[in-house]
Every structure is written in C-alpha cells, then in structure tokens.
Amino acid sequence: MLDIEIDGKTLQVPEGSTVMDAAHQAGTYIPHFCYHKKLSIAANCRMCLVQVEKAPKPMPACATPVTNGMKVFTHSELAINAQKGVMEFLLINHPLDCPICDQGGECQLQDLSAGYGGGASRYQEEKRVVVNKNLGPLVSTDMTRCIHCTRCVRFTQEIAGLMELGQAYRGEHAEIMPFVEQTVASELSGNIIDLCPVGALTSKPFRFSARSWEMARRKSVSPHDGLGSNLIVQTKHDRVLRVLPLENEAVNECWLSDKDRFSYEALNSAERLTQPMLKQDGKWINASWQQALDYVAHAFKDIAKDHGAAALGALTAPQATLEELFLTQKLLRGLGSGNVDSRLRQSDFALDGKLGGAPWLGMKIAEINALDRALVVGSFLRKDQPLLAQRLRQAAKRGCQVSLIHSADDDTLVKIFAKSIVAPSQLPGLLAQVVKSAAEQKGATVDAELAKVSVTPEAQKIAASLVSGTNAAILLGNFAQQHAQAATLHALAQQLAKITGAKFGYLGEAANSVGAYVAKAVPQAGGLNAAQILASPLKGYLLLQAEPELDCANPQQTLAALQKAATVVVMSPFKLASTLEYADVLLPVAPFTETSGTFINTEGRVQSFNAVVKPLGDTRPGWKVLRVLGNLLGLPGFEQNSSEEVRAEALAGQPEFVADRLNNQANGVVLNLSLSAAGLERVSDVPIYFADALVRRAPSLQKSLDAKQPRARMNAATLAKLGVAAGKQVKVKQGSGVAQMTAELDAGLPDNCVRVAAGHVLTAGLGAMQGTLTVEPM
Amino acid sequence: MSTQQILLAGLDPNTGDQTWHLADYVKRGGYAALKKILSENIPPENVINEVKKSALRGRGGAGFPAGLKWGFIPKAYQGPRYICCNTDEGEPGTFKDRDLMRFNPHQVIEGMIIAGYAVGSERGYNYIHGEVWSLYKRFEEALDEARAAGLLGQKILGSNFNFELFAHHGYGAYVCGEETGLLESIEGKKGQPRYKPPFPANYGLYGRPTVINNTETFAAVPWIIINGGEKYLELGKPNNGGTKLFSVSGHVVKPGVYEVPMGTPFPVLLEMCGGMRNGKLKAVIPGGSSAPVLPADIMMDCTLDYDSIAKAGSMLGSGAVIVMDESVCMVKALERLSYFYFEESCGQCTPCREGTGWLYRVVHRIEHGLGKPEDLDLLNSVTDNIMGRTICALGDAAALPVRSFTKHFKSEFEYHIENKKCLVPPEVQREGSRIYVTPNRVPSC
C-alpha cells in the first residue's frame, strides 16, 4: 500500500494506483474527459492536470502513478490554472450550439465549462468545422463538437474488439472517423454514444425527440439475451424515448448491447396490438376484454371436454416474464394439461427428466473475467451473447486461452487459442474427441463409446489447453442448445468438465431461459415438450409473447400444427401478418416496459422491474390477463393481487438468486455419436436482430448490417460442387418449403454445409434449424 | 581548443558521396571498436561505463546523458530488447544527421551494434525521415555491405553476439522525431507520442525495453570505445563531452554542417562559416527552430555547449544554428515558425492541438496588419497554457519561439501592431532572402 495525501486528506492506496484512482477513493472529483475507468489511459484531454508536490509541471491525474508519500493538490492555484487553461482550449473550437445539441443537459463539457470556463472567449478567429461521418443507423455524428478524447476509438478497439474508428489527420485537422466507406458495425456500437463526453456522437433513433431533463428515468431489465442487462428507460408522456445502461458491475458493467439499447423503438411500432380481437367467420373484429376472455375460456373448456385436457398446449417465449410463465403453466396444469414449454428453438429434449435443475451459466457472470481457460461449444458468440463475449474478450486479453468448437467460423473478435469448425452432425464427435484426449492426458477412464473415437490434433490441443488451466470453463452456446444432439453435447461437456475440473455452463439463450425452468413453464413428467406439442397437432394452443413461425425450431411444422388447430389464442404485444391467418383470438399483452415482472438471468440472478409507462391502448399486463382467465375458467389459486404475489408464489419467497434451482448435472444420458448426415446440412444462426419480437420491429436495428436478408452461405468447395456462383439467386428447399435467396461465399463453413438463418420471414417456410436441405441454382 | 573531428573526420563534402562505403570506412579505422569489444570480450557494463565517463549527451536535442540512458535498461528483463536510432531530423534548421548518414553511415551502424552489445539487444531499427529518400537508400546499401561482411547477423565476427539492424523510413511527420512517436510509427501506428512514464527504457518498442538515441550519438560511440571516455570528455567541456555537429543555415557565407568540440565559442563557428553574408547579425536560433531565439549580443558571448546556451536562455538542441541578419522581419519569421508547429502538431492532446493554431493565427494577424495591442499579452498567456501541459515537448517547442521572439523583439511586434506594417523595409527583406550559393560547394541535396 502507498501513502498519498490529496488536498490534505491522507489515505492509502494499492500499488499501481494512479492519482485519479486515489482521488476517486478519497471522494475528490478531478475534472476529466478522456479518462474512463474501463478504457486504457490516453491522457490526451489534459483536463485532469493537478499539482504534485516537487513536480515542476502540473501532472495528469489519470496517468500519474502514485508514489509513496506523494502530495497532490487538486484545487491549488497551479492546478486550477492548468484546468482552466485546458478548458479554454477545448472551448475555442467547440461550437456554442448547446441549445440545439442533444447532449445539452447531460454534457460533460457543458457541466465542466460552468466550473472552469470563462464568461467570454478570447479566441476571435474562425472556429473549426468538421464534416460529419456516417457511422450507420444507430450513431449520429456532429463531428464539429468533437474534443478528440478518443474514448470512442479506444472503446471499439478495446471493448468491442475491432478498431472501427480512428483519428485521422494531424493537429487541428485531426478527425475521428471510421475506415473509408465503412460504418461502425459492432453490436456494441451504442456505447460510444454514452462514452462521448460531448454531443459529437448521439443516438440517431433518439435524435431531437426530447431534452434530457424532460424525461423520467426508470429502472428496468433487458428482455433479450440471458445476461439481463440493467437498463434505465427514459420516458416522456408515457412513451419510451431512450434506453441507457444502468451500471451493474456484476451483470452488464456500464455497457449495453445495441439490441438492449435500441429495441425500444419496437414499443412504438405500428404493428402494436392495442385491442383484443376475435376472428369471426374469417374476419377480424375488435372485441372487449370481457368478450375475448369469455371466448377463450369457453373454447378451452370445450376442447378439454370434447378432446381431453391433453389436447391443449401452451408455447411461451423465453422472453416472457417469470410471472407470465408461472401463471401460464398453472393455468394449463389447472385445466389438466401438462403441455407447456418455453424452449421453442430446442430440438433435442432427451435431457428432460435427467437434469438436476435449471441449466445455467454454472458460475457468476463476473467470474468469466477471471477464467484462464474456456471452451465455447456451438455459439455465434458475438451476436448471441454480445456482452458475455465482451467479458471473454477481456479474459483472453489477460491471457485466458479461449477455444471454440462450432459449425461456423464467424470472427468472434476474441483471441481464439484453438478452434475446430465441423458440420453440425460432426459436432458431438468432435467434442467426444476433446473428452477422450483430456481423459488420456489426465489418466481418467472413459466409457466404451468414447474409447472408439480417434483424436485429431486440434481436439488434442483444445484438451491440453483445458487440462493445463486452473480456472477453466466449458460453455454451451445457443447453437449447442438448439442442436439435434443437444443432450449428447451436454453429457460430453459435463464429462469434460469433470475430467478437467472445469466449470460447466450454458450461455443462456434468452432473458428468462432460467426463469422458465424455475416457473415450471417446461414440461414435467407426462407433459409434452415444445417439439411434441407441435408434432402431434393439438386442438387448442395458447401462445404467450411468442411468434412461433419465427421463434420455433421448425417453422414449417409449427405453422402446419397451428393452422390445423381448432383454437389458437395469441397473447402478444404485436400482430404479425402470418399470425392473423391461424389465430382465433388476439389478446394485447404488455411488453416489458408496460408491466411489472421478473427475469432470472443465466447466472440465476432474480431481477424484477416495474412498468415504466402505461400500457398502450387496451393492452394489459400478461400476468393480469392470465389471472383473470384463471378466474373465468374457475381454477383455484388465481387470487393474486399483484405481480409481486405471483413472483413470491413462483419463487417461494423473494430470493436474490435462485441458486437452489440451478443445476447443470444430468444423469443417464445415452450418448449418440454415430450420426451421419446425407446431403447438405443446414447450419442455422438466429441473427441478432431477428432473435425476438422486439428487435424484429426496431426500425433502426433493422437498418443495420446484421439485419440484412438471410443468404445461403456456403464455402467455395460446396458452391462449386453445386454449380452455384456467389451472388446468384438460388432455391433452398427443405421439407415442403422453398425459399429463394442469394448464394454467398462463407469460407468459414465446413464442406457440405449451407448456412441459412432462422428467425426471418424469408426462411420461415423452411424446416428444422438443423437438418438437410437442397440448393438449386435458379 | 582542439580541432579534432570524430564524426566527419577525413570527409569532404565534394567527394563524400564516393567514400562512404564499408571499405573506405574500414580504411578510416572503422569497425575497430566493434572488433576490439568482441575480440577482447569486453563486458557490456564496461562499455556502458565508458560511455558514461565520456559525458556523451544525447545529440537529438534533449541532451540526456547517453550512458545513463543505456544503464536504465533493466538487466534482469527476459525477452527481446531493442535499439532504435532516431534519424527523423525534421526540425527546421536541422540537417546534421543528413551529412552524417550520407558520408559516414557505417559509423552509425557500428555505434548501434555496440549499443546492442552493451544492453543485450539483438535487434535494432534506424528510423530515417522520408523526405530525403537517398539517405534511406544509402543506409540500406550500407546495411547490405555490413551484413555481407559478417558485421550484422548471427555470430558477428565469430563471436556469440547476434545483432540485426533494419532501416525504417518515415513519411514526413515532424512528431515522429519525438522518441515515443517514433516507436509508435515503427510499430505501424499513427505517430503520436506516448505519455511518459513509462520511458522507453522500460516500455519501448513493442512494449520492450528500448534504447533510443540520435544518429549522431550512436556515431560518437566507436571513437569513445577506441580512445576511452575520458579522452572524449577532454575534447569538450566538463559535463559536455566530445565534439558536436552544427548545421548552420541562414545568412552566413558558407552554410553547412560543421563539427567542432563542445564549448567552442559561437564567434569561432561563425568565422568557420565565412562570417555574415552581408549585413549585421541580428539574431540566432542556436538549437533548431524550437529553441528560443537569442539576440546577436547575447549569442556572441555564448560558447556552444548545453550549459552555456541554457544559461543564456535558450537550448543547444540539435545544434541547428539559424543565423539571421537585419534583413529579417522577426514577425514574419515567427509566423513561419508558428505555422510549422501548427501544421505538425499531432492533434493528440488538447493544449497543443488547439493552442498551436491559436498562436499561429494571432501571429499571422499581427504580420498582416490586423494585430491588436492586447495580442502580445494574449500570446504570452496562450503559451503559458501550452507549456508544460502537453504529452510531449512539441507543445513547448511551439510556445518557446513565440515567447522568445516577442520577448527579445517586442518593439518589432509593437511596430507591426501600431503601424500595420513592417519595421524592416520590404526591399531589404527581399534582398536578404535571395538564394545564395557558395562557389565551389555542392549544394546539399
């Protein structure tokens, strides 16, 4: 520890601290612009100059290491003069356009200029003007306002993993810009808006819609991936206008992914369903809640009476709240049907009944940063888990060996130690090789099934890496969870973790993937799982927050089942064109901003939130709708008066973590390694901006590069074999479905694989996310 | 006063372009120092000590003792260390390394190899400015000769010492002459100085311990090894060892590069240059454009060494002596200098990025008859806000000329502001700036 005195206050700080760290610890504020605790030190703004005893010049607090016995004066004449001098320089070329600047009211430069700026400028010359840059659909630029702190440059390089911005030119002509003809395509790009201390980078979707002080700030939780990022939702006149990160070091740190930040645009979408609707004689009519719910109650009762309760099934989106999930399963089970599932994109349910609890990350999110070895199995890491990937990126920078086995070779922007990319059908075999190799290296025994496997050098390298670590983890990504042999992958990963002493976890797919297990919105003994619910068409379906034709593993089968059903009840904030064809009742339920609720993230953290705005039109919170429906059906246990009561019932208390419900250990899984796929295998990703109902309707996200139309991607050998040229239109056929799309070269794919995205209207006619398909030139 | 030359000894500007080759250098006694070290197995510490004894101070401008710098390289460090040579002389007035590199490149190479030996480095880079392309080409040729002769590469001269040396050329940014900006540039990044500490001795090229010295500094090393540090020190003055190259430009009869012992009185150097061309000495910038200007009377009393010039209120810098006679308008001269620093600021840190432009614009305004009485105070205040507050010394380099010009020649500035015209009549200025070529001298490049 080092002794330091700051403005007469003595304290002790750890070795390696800077004066800025020490000041922070002492509770002293030192003005700054370029310094940011999560970014490297640039020391370029010079605003944090302070006086250090015995130093002839003022020193930048952010970059000056503390030495023992150092005396620092942050408010001495020397320090204040230096800070005022810097402020004057910053302001001479900064436009005085605060009244029309979106940053006004939340601008660091504006705030600090009140303390350190002069009343009038001594600079009489012409001010600099800088041409704006196109950074894509999310970030708006006013580069004349830029003060060259390079926070945005450092962010893209250090946190987002790819240097997409840089400072070109010299001196006064220096400009922050993207590479020529490029924009910022990072899935974390919105953070540069928060980082920009001035109004140079502002939010394009939010631009000019309100002043910062006019909006209310409400806490909320992101309803997208399994991370459960903490949000500040800003509202005005019961409309969500902007979303910002709520800092939570244990979850999202101070970042948000772009889907967390910009998906709010969907809340004001024209596709919002604002009134209950009934289909009568093939025509949709508006109905009152009373009429609609009566209709649903009667329909469900009739089906139960005529065909038995087992003819009813519910499919719930894993992005629904814990309360909605809990009441849905309670309603179905109250009626006598156990057919309820939230794992819509899952195709292998062999783990059901064998798993010890809800599959989860297997560790705290923050523990990812401390890993020294990691194996990621089947994940489009950056796009599926933008911020978890960011943590792995930081871990890799600190020396963690991150290995990847997958069926596509997208750039993770994480330093990868070893990787092996194989066709989906080969993935279990590949993981088996790693298990066998690790066992050999550790002197452990494996079962006969694995003994037969021959190990490739790459698998051996991955195994050696895991074996040599002291804090390793094996993480199953979305692709592995959706895989047709997901149970085998799980069992292998579990075995590998046991052999290597590694942690074993799931990179949670959706905001409430864990919550769905906790709420029991997954089938218990005797109930049908999502695939079975759709495979043996039922008479009545309840769809909660889900758009099955886009959210399910096999859209073809899904649509067929729903079209055949007698009654399909849709509880959703949106009306999707294709839904109108098969649905019978549309009930407008609130999205996450209009209801209170709870998400349980992938580490088992229970995060509840309140509604931030009033429900739009006749929309009602989902839990209330289900509660009333329970009453109308005459079911017991639907007397809750608040979502808190529902939550308490679902969780048996108010825990902060649901540690006792989490368990990744599965017993008695039969390994299924001998799989061969004849023909072309489909590799499916769910592109980041097609993953759920909200992002699909956020116009700005839809304009970004990640939202481009799905293409049939193949490697050069596969293209050649099929006689297809990249850029040409092809017909992709799977089952009874056909989709026409552009062929594209993707050198990262294994042979005989075609990558076709799921979750998009264009590919909704195709079959299962994993399977075989054919490609024909047009 | 000794007249010994050690850098340009035996070299003639008229024939120098033919006598730079390895064979010529060896004939002049070249590579003897390296052979001595390797054949006698002189311990690296002794090499460093010899350089320390010599009081050889960095010839790039800052004058930091070279031996001390070498001694900073952490001995216990595992992993590569680097030797970097700074031949990016870009300061207006400075062209000493040009002649050294042109006529005597092998001496630089030998000095770098010895430095590598002294600090346990196996790899060096010479960063050569891109404006004079022929220097870069010549250095590459010299490297080829050295490699072919077994002076570079594995097991040099049969010893166990390996050293490889590469040339790297810049693209003309002045700021890449700042040592950490130079390192960034070699690394392939934008040439922007780093914040120090850490210094290059601990965190240099690619984050490794690095010795970075000026070309002339390295070139002095072989002589020190052969003749001993004490002898080198004796050539100059205490604390100011050896000889120094001075690149003299301006209104002298024979501008050029002159090697004289440290501590030589300025009038002696002026005499060597053939005295003033015509007209009377008005002012001298003794150490390159970033050094404060000194009026004639102060300068004529100075000796040419770090301490004397510093005492007079300026810097010896890189030894770029810019001589001005009375045809020079000091406002116009400052405008030119301020424009240079405005243009060459890297734009990284605020005071320099914003301040250099401000200084230039105000001086420009004064020069063009738009000055205001309060402008001189404003200039002073702006330089106050730049100096000592920037990441590298470019901020100070931009501020010092402004301060010294307005201090020593205040009346000229006031005349400009009051009368909206120059104190020096235009025809005098025109005459003074006429191109003037000394007979029998090859104009350098």
Residues B59-86 pLDDT 10s: 988 889 999 999 999 999 999 999 999 9
10 Å CB burial of residue B120 (0-12, 13-18, 19+) is middle
Query: Are B358 and A170 inside 8 Å of each other by CB?
Result: no
- The answer to whether residues A488 and A428 touch, using CB atoms and an 8 Å cutoff, is yes
Is the Cβ of B348 closer than 8 Å to some Cβ of chain A? yes
Residue type, B425: P
- How many CB pairs lie under 8 A apart between chains A and B? 96
User: For residue B241, what pLDDT band results from cuts at 50, 70 and 90?
Assistant: confident
Is the Cβ of B72 closer than 8 Å to some Cβ of chain A? no
Residue type, A368: I
**Exposure pattern of B16-41 as b/e (b: 16+ CB <10 Å)?**
beebbebebbeebebbebbbebbeee
Query: Are B357 and A89 inside 8 Å of each other by CB?
Result: no
At residue A290, the pLDDT reads: 97
Angle at A530 between CA A526 and CA A536, to 5 degrees: 75
Is the Cβ of B383 closer than 8 Å to some Cβ of chain A? no
Query: Rounded to an integer, what distance in angstroms lies between the CA atom of residue A587 and that of residue A278?
Result: 9
Tokens read off for B318: 């890189």
- Range B385-402 average pLDDT: 96
All residues of chain B having their beta carbon less than 8 Å from the beta carbon of residue A88 are 385
Chain centroid, CA B56 distance in Å: 14
Q: What phi, psi does A541 have (nearest 5°)?
A: -125, 140
Nearest chain A residue to B173 by CA: give it.
A170
Nearest chain B residue to A66 by CA: give it.
B197
Please report the beta strands in A146-257, taking only residues with DSSP state E, as ranges in sequence order: 165-168, 175-178, 201-203, 216-221, 230-236, 239-245
pLDDT < 70: residue spans in chain A:
674-675
Tokens read off for A348: 């292998």
Chain centroid, CA B36 distance in Å: 29
* DSSP H or E run through A325: helix A322-335
* DSSP H or E run through A650: helix A643-651
Does residue B443 register a pLDDT over 60? Answer: no
All residues of chain B having their beta carbon less than 8 Å from the beta carbon of residue A170 are 173, 175, 343-347
Query: Rounded to an integer, what distance in angstroms lies between the CA atom of residue A598 and that of residue A581?
Result: 32
3-state secondary structure of A525: coil
First to last CA, chain A: 71
User: Residue holding tokens 């002197």?
Assistant: A443
First to last CA, chain B: 32
Compare CB distances from A44 to B342, B348, B381 and report the shortest one's residue: B348
- The answer to whether residues A285 and A278 touch, using CB atoms and an 8 Å cutoff, is yes
Tokens read off for A208: 């000019």
3-state secondary structure of A239: strand
Query: Are B347 and A57 inside 8 Å of each other by CB?
Result: no
Compare CB distances from B358 to A63, A92, A167 and report the shortest one's residue: A92
Does residue B440 register a pLDDT over 70? Answer: no
CA dist A523 to A327, A329, A558, Å?
14, 9, 18
3-state secondary structure of B244: strand
Chain centroid, CA A385 distance in Å: 5
At residue B21, the pLDDT reads: 96
- The answer to whether residues B236 and B243 touch, using CB atoms and an 8 Å cutoff, is yes
- The answer to whether residues B77 and B118 touch, using CB atoms and an 8 Å cutoff, is no
Nearest chain B residue to A168 by CA: give it.
B190
Query: Are A46 and B349 inside 8 Å of each other by CB?
Result: yes
Query: Rounded to an integer, what distance in angstroms lies between the CA atom of residue A49 and that of residue A56?
Result: 12
Query: Are A171 and B346 inside 8 Å of each other by CB?
Result: yes
- Nearest chain B CA: its distance from A470 CA (Å): 25
At residue A536, the pLDDT reads: 84
- Nearest chain A CA: its distance from B336 CA (Å): 17
Does residue B1 register a pLDDT over 70? Answer: no
3-state secondary structure of B1: coil
What count of residues does chain A have? 778
**3-state SS string over A476-519?**
ECHHHHHCCCHHHHHHHHHHHHHHHCCEEEECCCCCCHHHHHHC
Q: Identify the bridge partners of residue A720 per DSSP, sorted by sequence position.
A: none
Residues A286-313 pLDDT 10s: 999 999 999 999 999 999 999 999 999 9
Compare CB distances from B354 to A47, A65, A92 and report the shortest one's residue: A92
Query: Rounded to an integer, what distance in angstroms lies between the CA atom of residue A753 and that of residue B180?
Result: 49
- Within 8 A by CB and 6+ apart from A662, the residues are A357, A358, A359, A360, A514, A604
Q: Global pTM?
A: 0.94
Nearest chain B residue to A93 by CA: give it.
B354
CA dist B406 to B193, B385, B401, Å?
28, 16, 8
Query: Rounded to an integer, what distance in angstroms lies between the CA atom of residue A633 and that of residue A623?
Result: 15
Closest CA to A622 of A636, A611, A607, A634: A611
Q: What phi, psi does A312 have (nearest 5°)?
A: -105, 145
- Nearest chain A CA: its distance from B438 CA (Å): 37
- Nearest chain B CA: its distance from A125 CA (Å): 7
Query: Are A148 and B348 inside 8 Å of each other by CB?
Result: yes
Nearest chain B residue to A150 by CA: give it.
B348
Residues B70-127 pLDDT 10s: 999 999 999 999 999 999 998 999 999 999 999 999 999 999 999 999 999 999 999 9
Nearest chain B residue to A49 by CA: give it.
B389
Q: Identify the bridge partners of residue A50 per DSSP, sorted by sequence position.
A: A59
At residue B442, the pLDDT reads: 43
Nearest chain A residue to B352 by CA: give it.
A171
User: For residue B445, what pLDDT band results from cuts at 50, 70 and 90?
Assistant: very low
All residues of chain B having their beta carbon less than 8 Å from the beta carbon of residue A90 are 350, 354
Query: Are A44 and B346 inside 8 Å of each other by CB?
Result: no
- Nearest chain B CA: its distance from A159 CA (Å): 19
Tokens read off for B386: 């730049």
Mean pLDDT lowest among A604-618, B7-21, B329-343: B7-21
Q: What phi, psi does A574 have (nearest 5°)?
A: -125, 155
10 Å CB burial of residue A140 (0-12, 13-18, 19+) is buried
Nearest chain A residue to B374 by CA: give it.
A122
What count of residues does chain B have? 445
At residue B131, the pLDDT reads: 85
At residue B2, the pLDDT reads: 60
Is the Cβ of A157 closer than 8 Å to some Cβ of chain B? no
Tokens read off for A270: 């024209």
Query: Rounded to an integer, what distance in angstroms lies between the CA atom of residue A197 and that of residue A210?
Result: 19
Does residue B38 register a pLDDT over 90? Answer: yes
All residues of chain A having their beta carbon less than 8 Å from the beta carbon of residue B173 are 170
| Mutation target vs A (from B174, B195, B202, B354; most A CBs, 10 A cutoff) | B354
All residues of chain A having their beta carbon less than 8 Å from the beta carbon of residue B352 are 171
All residues of chain A having their beta carbon less than 8 Å from the beta carbon of residue B339 are none
- Range B255-266 average pLDDT: 94
Is the Cβ of A148 closer than 8 Å to some Cβ of chain B? yes
- The answer to whether residues A325 and A519 touch, using CB atoms and an 8 Å cutoff, is yes
At residue B436, the pLDDT reads: 55
At residue B437, the pLDDT reads: 52
CA dist B361 to A170, B86, B335, B357, Å?
17, 31, 9, 6
Is the Cβ of B353 closer than 8 Å to some Cβ of chain A? yes
Which of B 157-196 lie inside 8 A of A, CB atoms?
173, 175, 190, 195
Is the Cβ of B361 closer than 8 Å to some Cβ of chain A? yes
| Mutation target vs B (from A144, A172, A176, A179; most B CBs, 10 A cutoff) | A172
DSSP string, B174-201: GGGGSHHHHHHHHTTS---PPPSSSPTT
Does residue B439 register a pLDDT over 60? Answer: no
Query: Are A86 and B350 inside 8 Å of each other by CB?
Result: yes
All residues of chain A having their beta carbon less than 8 Å from the beta carbon of residue B342 are 171-172
Query: Are A58 and B388 inside 8 Å of each other by CB?
Result: yes
| Mutation target vs A (from B184, B187, B350; most A CBs, 10 A cutoff) | B350
Query: Rounded to an integer, what distance in angstroms lies between the CA atom of residue A568 and that of residue A538?
Result: 10
Nearest chain A residue to B350 by CA: give it.
A45
- The answer to whether residues A419 and A408 touch, using CB atoms and an 8 Å cutoff, is no
Check the CA dihedral A711-A717-A718-A722 and report its sign. Answer: positive
Residues B129-167 pLDDT 10s: 988 899 999 999 999 999 999 999 999 999 999 999 999
Query: Are A123 and B358 inside 8 Å of each other by CB?
Result: yes
Tokens read off for A1: 């520890």
Closest CA to B73 of B46, B48, B96: B48
Is the Cβ of B395 closer than 8 Å to some Cβ of chain A? no
Chain centroid, CA A134 distance in Å: 25
Query: Are B356 and A172 inside 8 Å of each other by CB?
Result: yes
All residues of chain A having their beta carbon less than 8 Å from the beta carbon of residue B345 are 170-172
All residues of chain B having their beta carbon less than 8 Å from the beta carbon of residue A83 are none
- Nearest chain B CA: its distance from A704 CA (Å): 29
